[in-house]
Amino acid sequence: MSNFMSKNEYIIAFQKLYNFIYKTILYIIKDKDLALDICQEAFIRGYNKIHTLNNTAKFRTWILKIATNIAYEYIKRNKEICVEDINGIIQLENEFYCKVNNVEQEVLNHELEEEIKKILISLNSRYSTVLIYRFYCEMTYEEIATELGIDINSVKVNLYRGKKQFKKRLQMNNTLKEYIRGVGINGK
């Protein structure tokens, strides 16, 4: 690829990556309509800034960074975002949904989801991005490094620190403690 991308080449390249970009933004935002809007905004911003792309071989990383930045801008502007957690919470959610038997449990379920969203949003964006790429997009360390333009060791460090922060905040969360008591995890 050359070091210059025409606007027509940009449109074709964006269309090829559209599903990947949409899926990634959907994992961050958890709202289909909003993810579509963010993809459209990413297309427009990228189109207007195509002249800043110095190496067309890095287009995928460049456009994905634009899209994720827009998603995180939205999160910062709107604190009530529908973002799901990472790591072991998927398992907790599955267990939780299986045991919903009454209104009280459903309310607790909703509160848990909201707390998980808040915790993920409260993490440093580099940690939450790496967690989302790894556990929702199921990307390898190499793919994450390429997408973010960082080395593999940085990916590993950010993933480790992100999981550690996430786990610590989950353990301190009262709603999660109530959930554990209500569902009966750990034999209680």
Clarify whether residues 179 and 97 are in a common domain: yes
Neighbours of 181 (CB within 10 A): 12
Is 41 part of any domain?
yes
Clarify whether residues 23 and 57 are in a common domain: yes
Residue 39 pLDDT: 92
Which residue, among 103, 48, 93, 98, has the nearest Cα to 70 in the 3D structure? Answer: 48
Residue 41 pLDDT: 92
pTM of the predicted model, to two decimals?
0.47
> Per the structure, how many domains does the chain have?
2
Q: Determine contact, residues 175/105, Cβ cutoff 8 Å.
A: no
Instruction: List the CATH number of the domain containing 73.
Output: 1.10.1740.10
CA-based diameter of the chain, in Å? 62
- Quote the domain boundaries for residue 142: 89-187
Clarify whether residues 55 and 101 are in a common domain: no
Clarify whether residues 102 and 172 are in a common domain: yes
Instruction: List the CATH number of the domain containing 106.
Output: 1.10.10.10
pLDDT averaged per 10 residues, the chain (length 188): 73 89 85 89 90 84 89 74 45 52 60 72 82 76 87 91 84 63 47
Is 117 part of any domain?
yes
